[in-house]
Each structure stands twice: as C-alpha cells, then as structure tokens.
Structure 1
C-alpha cells in the first residue's frame, strides 16, 4: 500500500511539474501577446493624436473659408460631420460670390454709361468754346506781331540817330587830341625856357616870374581839358549804352517774333488734328510761353541797364583818381621834384594797366629827353654862343601821357 501511495504521489508530482511547465509556456505566450498589444496601443495612440491634430487643422481651414454668419459652420463631436453639408456650404458661397460679381459688373457698366454720356456732352460744349478761344488767340498774336514790327522800326531809327551822334562826338574827340598835342608842344617850349633861365642872364631871371604865370595858366588849361575829356567820355559811354540796349532789344524782339510766328503756324496747322482737351492745353501752353518771353525780356533789359550803370560808376571813380594822380605828377614836374614824379609815373602806368613793352618805351623816351636836355645844359654853362632851340631837342616818345590815359579810358 505504501508503495502504491508513493507511486501515486510520484505520478502526481510529475503531472504537476508537467502542468507547471505548460502554464509557464502559456504565460510566456501571453506575455509576448501583451507586449505586442502594448506596442500596437502606443502606435494607435500616436496615430490618434495626429488624426486629432489633422481634424483640428481641417476644421480651422473650413471655418476660415466659411467664416460668414450665413453659413453657420460649427465644431461637432467625432463622427457627426456631414461631408455633403460642407460641400453644400462651399457651393452656396461660390454662388453668392458670383452673384456679387454680377451685381458689381452691372453697377460698373451703368456708371460707365453715365460717364460716357457726360463726356460726350462736355466735348460738345468745349468744342464751341475752343473755337472761340483759338480765334481770339490768333487775333492777339497778330496784334503783338504788328506792335513788335513797329517797335523794331522805331529802334532802327534811334540806332541811326545814335550813330550820327557818335560820329559827331568822335570829331570832338579828335579836336581834343589836337589840343593835347598843342599842350605837349607848349610843355616842350616851357622846358626850353627853363633851360634858358639857367644861363647867366639877368633878363632871363626877370622873365622867370612870367614863366611861372604861364605854367599856372597851362595847369588851368590842363584841368579844363581833363574835365572836358571826362564829360565827353561820359556822354560817349551813355550813347554806347543806349546803342547796346537798343541792339539787345532789337535782337530779343526778333527772337520773340520768330517764336510767336512759329507758335501761330503750329496753332493754325495742328489745331484740327487735336481733340478739344489737347486744344485747350495747347492754348494754355502758348499763352504761358508768351508771358514767360515777355517777363524774360523785361528782366534782361533791367539787368543790362543795372550792370552798365555800375560799370559807369566804377569808371567815373577811377577817372577821378587818375585825374588827381596826373595833376600831382605835373605839379612835381614843374617844381623839379623828379623823385616823386617818377613814383607817380609808375602809379599812372599801373592804373592804366600798361604792358611791360609800353613801360619800357616810356622810360626810354624819358631817358632820351633827360640826357639831351642835360647835355644842352652842360654845353650852355661853358659857352653861351648858341641858345638851345626847339629843333635841337629830342623828345621822341610813342604817345603823350594824356593820350595814353585818354586811349585807355576810351577802351
């Protein structure tokens, strides 16, 4: 019995061991299935999150497209969205948009028709007005051309008269030049008389007072001549200014005539080729051109007159200064103050803007005259057999100082 019991127990243990092994195998298979299910669950969860995100994005896009109140598109739970309803909403929106565009096109066509009607009426009115304005402008241009022709004729006569006056003044200037030459000859005679005064002759010493009186008279004559030269120079400058202004005005008026004639020809030939708006613009441009040309002519005349007056004032001031310098030079020459006279001579040549060649010629002429007079003086101090004569003295020079001064001021 005991052996049977032991055998039964051994068989029970073996069966239990076998069952346990089977259970262990089942547990392993179940564990593997659970691992697979967990991985699938995780993957499914991730896909669900992505689907939820896509669903939210699609909802926002549809809601943005159907944001108007009349479409009433709202969020719904899962599985309750109707695709056909959404498509119907999009179709309704497209129909509303097409209706709005159709109404807008109709309104635009109506406005276009009204504007075309107004434009046609305005063209009819402006066609009549532009014809009248063109005729008036043509008459005005013809009148201005006639006025300019008359003004040109008057200016031509004035220029002829001014040329005659200038010829008369040139004759007077020649007379003044002759007076200057006479003055130079008298100056030479005075120098001869001064040399004669240095001889031991009582009668010549007595006549020295007469020579001084004559020198004073000569100075007065020089002053008068300088004043007359200044007056004549002023008159000549005024005449030259008037002549220049008249010539300038004549040139300006010739240019204006050419411009106005070209404008008139363009107005007559091209008028019929333009529409009423371009015709009106062309008329306004022509009137503006005429006004600008007139203003420019007045301004240029004013500037030219102002400039010539300034030049005249500066020339007058320079002439007064030069006159004082020349007067002092003659005074130093008469009193034999040759050092100061030489300084003033350099100042005169600087004022007259003489070149180096002109300065050299004047210095050579002065040296020749001084050496000749000194030679005669020395010879007369030893022997009084022969008095110095005018023909024996060499006063060669290119021009007198007064002639050079007058020539420079005239230029």
Structure 2
C-alpha cells in the first residue's frame, strides 16, 4: 500500500503566492489611478494578449461564456447569422459551449468526439452539416488543440464560420500558431483555475476581423461605442481594470507555467503506464497546454476513492454531458454513446505548475498501487 501524502487538485493560493508582490503592486496601481473600468490597464492587456495569441485584436469581457456569446451575437448584428441557425459543438464539453449558442437564438448540434483526443471528430462534423449549419465551434478540451487543419478545410469548403472555444487552451500552439488564431474568432476564459487565470471572473474575444472586434467591443458595453449612443442592444460584460492589471503580470509567466505542466504530464504518462488506467493522448507536445490531465477508467469512482484515501485530490470534468442536462430537454433523446461513456469514465488528476516533484511521484505511485490492488 502506498503512503499517504496530501496532494491538492489545485492550490490557487500557491499558484498566486509566487507572484504576490507583483499582483499587489498591480492592484495598488489600479486603486491609485482612480479609473476602474475600460481604462489603460485593459487597453494594455488587450494589446499584449492579442500579440501573444498572434492576432490583431483582443477584447476583454466579463467571463469566458460572454466571450463566446458576444461573438455569436456580433455575427447576428453583422448579418452573418439569424435565429434558428445551427452551430456544431462537441457533445463532450462544459455546458457553457452550448449556452453561448442557445442564448443567441441558435441551435447547438452536438457531435461525438474523436475517441483518442476527445476533441471534435472532423468526419462526424462533416456528416452533421445541414442546410442551417453556419458555425463550427471546436473546443480545445482540457487544453489540447482540436484538429484545426481538418476543421478549417471543412469550414472553408462549406462556407462556415469557425469559433474556437479556447477557454482551457491558453498557450497551446501548432507550427507557430497559438490557440485563438486558427478560426475567425475565439473565446478565452480567465476564471481563476485556468492556465491564465484572473483573481475573479474574466474573459476575452480574440480575432483578426476588424469589424467583428468593433462590434464585440460595443456589445460588451451596452451596445455603445460613444457614451449614451446605443445603436445596438448590448450587455454589460467588461473585463475590470484590476483583473486586467493582474493578468498582465501572469501573462509574463504563462509559457514557463505551460512548460512545467508539460513536464508533469510527461512524468504522469511515463510513470502511470501499464497501471490499468487509460492515459490521455497528445497529438504533439506543443499542441497541448495541459489545463487538465484527464485519465479514463471503467471503475472511475473506485479509482477516485482509492486515490482520495492516499491523499490525492481528483475531480470529474464533467460528470453529466450537456445533452443529458435538464436545461436541454430537446436534446435528451440523442444517442451519443461515446460521449456518455467518456463522462462516466473520466477522472482529472492533480495538475498545476506548482506541483512538486514529490507530489507528482506520489500521484504516480498511488495510481500504480491501484493496479496492484486490483
């Protein structure tokens, strides 16, 4: 029996403590400025994050859901979409991907994933395209880029828009292109647990489309570009100055944190191999930002209890797929067996840039002890 060691799933205290002095200085700078909404810190972060992603524009929003929703809303204002149009989404995603679609009067069309990568399966996407399909929304699930080359080819051939849900994929890249720069637009989340996390809610839209960026910037601010002039019915969803200032600090460390996540993921994959647990596959090392390290086990609940008894905290991302949620009764009759199997089997192991080598080794030993006890 392996020894017991406390390994938190994610310690946000430890993540942020590394930069406490810089974060406090950033917060103090905003407090002292007397300007707290749509100011210099946000403008600077938007410029820096756009440059990081390799696009012309970043528009800060109140959260990641609003980032996705505002893109779809802007496309409707621009005449690209209309009520009842369809958006192809992965069936195995967090419900926010679906909510962004349905709250805009559009219909989510769930598609089963690739069984190896868990991301959108291009062949199934092609088969799901119908006369009302207007958008493909790939989700870079757990931090791994979807097969963007194949999806972009399909979108181009059918004249479809591409909206990346990059909420978990900050820093993932392929052949020099980062998450957020593959589609017509992308939505990011800066929820505190993300690879680039604020100390509260936050999000951003990134795009190379000048017109789209202008529309999103107005829609997030009550539909206004000029104070008290409202040509569109917008919402209030702005990334606060204080969060923007802190994100500017943390952006400087994102690549180093991603490198550490990749080292941990490699250690897990080498150490847990042959332990009776299905390990995640990476299409390439740089294409996965390892927001989560998600294994599969037919006896998931039993594995989770075993690891918990040895001090290893785990989580399930996500226990119930969106089409089985009460919020979407119209989708309840869909047959999506692979998605349902994944949601029954997935388990997320501890993953963060502040895990120590000793903690990583303990997680590996605890997983191997499960196989030995089976």
TM-score by length of 2: 0.21
Q: Which has the larger radius of gyration?
A: 1
Larger strand proportion of the pair: 2
TM-score by length of 1: 0.20
